[in-house]
């Protein structure tokens, strides 16, 4: 059972007070049944939760909390993906109910949980659209996002899903250009809803992966540049985000009742033991954003993290740092495309391992 001991509770509240939501990047049945998630919500200002195939694979493979439910569902004729999504929705609907007061108090802006469509659909627009609508209906929760990757096929599915009224968490974004493409898909969907007399208040977040940039180039740049690229990418993306929110196009949608597509920092656990375990959380404090962090990072930040500087709307030193990487031979656009492909492949591998695990536990 995870415990909260000797934590600096005020520091997580400081993030909230600066306009940033803190979400947990984890879900397990143990977190729910032990009351730990509820304590994170009440004591550490956690206002949302995200999941992915890797998280569920670890949760189901490394505990006995799901064994009885898997066996029971298998006896009832459920197998593979259908069985998994029932398990996942049981967990995520319970978490969504815990977060419902946050969702209501924030007028539908915060208090979300997220469930990802099968990664096998990353290049299948039509299949993703069908899956997103089905999972949304199956959940019957207003505060549950369906995660869709920001791939070329995913962008088509994102627009159609939002147009259909499905709240979407756009995942696997790595660059400012990826973010802008996701924002375009979202805004076009909202414009279409307004043109068709539909409610424009459909929630969406755009998840930018941060730490994987630094892992990718750690052995190819001089020490002075290590662990700086992900944050610089985040800062440039934040500048684009704030410019978009101030644009006449978005202001017109907002005046009609649209909800901003919030920028979300993902992959914010430190991968390098030589730097602070709270580095990304402390560097990415920015109003009107979300930071979804692993449980270990949440507890580390609550224990010894600091909230000092807030990211400036213009991105601060991002352009100078990115110019340094350009001079060092790092092709950011090519690397972003590679990271998105690798991220999709990683989730596909976790998905296949998850399906294998479920088959083994079906008995």
| Residue 267 DSSP code | -
Report the helix count and the strand count for the chain, using DSSP H and E. Answer: 16, 8
To 10 degrees, the CA torsion angle through 346, 23, 284, 107? 120
Phi, psi at residue 92, to the nearest 5°?
-70, -30
Q: Three-state SS for 275?
A: coil
Cβ–Cβ < 8 Å for 100, 40 = no
Determine the Cα angle at 302 with ends 296 and 303, to 5°: 90
Phi, psi at residue 174, to the nearest 5°?
-125, -15
Task: List the structure tokens of 330.
Answer: 């790092």
Query: Is position 147 annotated as part of the catalytic site?
Result: yes
Which of 137, 209, 204, 224 shows the shortest CA–CA distance to 172?
Answer: 209
Which of 225, 211, 241 shows the shortest CA–CA distance to 312?
Answer: 241
Name the catalytic one among 78, 147, 235, 361.
147
Cβ–Cβ < 8 Å for 84, 351 = no
Rounded distance between C-alpha atoms, residue 345 and residue 170, angstroms:
17
The set of catalytic residues is 147
């Amino acid at each position: 059972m995870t415990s909260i001991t000797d934590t600096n509770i005020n520091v997580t509240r400081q993030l909230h007070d600066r306009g940033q939501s803190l979400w947990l990047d984890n879900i397990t049945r143990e977190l729910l049944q032990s009351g730990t998630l509820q304590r994170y919500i009440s004591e550490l200002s956690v206002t949302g939760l995200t999941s992915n195939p890797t998280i569920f694979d670890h949760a189901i493979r490394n505990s006995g909390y799901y064994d009885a439910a898997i066996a029971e569902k298998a006896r009832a004729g459920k197998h593979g993906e259908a069985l998994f999504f029932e398990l996942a929705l049981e967990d995520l609907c319970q978490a969504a109910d815990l977060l419902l007061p946050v969702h209501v108090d924030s007028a539908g802006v915060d208090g979300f949980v997220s469930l990802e469509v099968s990664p096998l659909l990353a290049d299948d627009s039509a299949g993703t659209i069908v899956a997103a609508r089905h999972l949304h209906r199956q959940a019957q929760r207003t505060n549950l996002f369906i995660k869709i990757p920001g791939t070329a096929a995913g962008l088509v599915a994102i627009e159609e899903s939002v147009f259909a009224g499905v709240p979407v968490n756009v995942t696997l974004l790595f660059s400012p250009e990826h973010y802008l493409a996701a924002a375009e898909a979202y805004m076009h969907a909202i414009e279409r809803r307004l043109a068709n007399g539909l409610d424009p208040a459909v929630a969406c977040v755009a998840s930018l992966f941060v730490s994987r940039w630094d892992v990718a180039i750690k052995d190819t740049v001089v020490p002075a540049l290590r662990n700086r690229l992900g944050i610089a990418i985040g800062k440039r993306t934040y500048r684009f985000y704030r410019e978009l929110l101030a644009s006449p196009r978005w202001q017109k949608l907002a005046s009609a009742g649209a909800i901003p597509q919030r920028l979300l920092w993902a992959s914010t656990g430190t991968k390098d033991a030589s730097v602070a375990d709270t580095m990304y959380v402390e560097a990415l404090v920015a109003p009107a954003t979300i930071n979804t962090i692993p449980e270990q990072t949440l507890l580390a930040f609550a224990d010894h993290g600091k909230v000092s500087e807030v990211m400036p709307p213009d991105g601060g030193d991002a352009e100078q740092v990115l110019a340094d990487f350009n001079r060092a031979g790092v092709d950011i656009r090519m690397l972003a495309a590679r990271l998105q492909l690798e991220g999709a492949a990683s989730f596909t591998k976790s998905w296949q391992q998850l399906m294998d695990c479920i088959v083994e536990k079906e008995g």
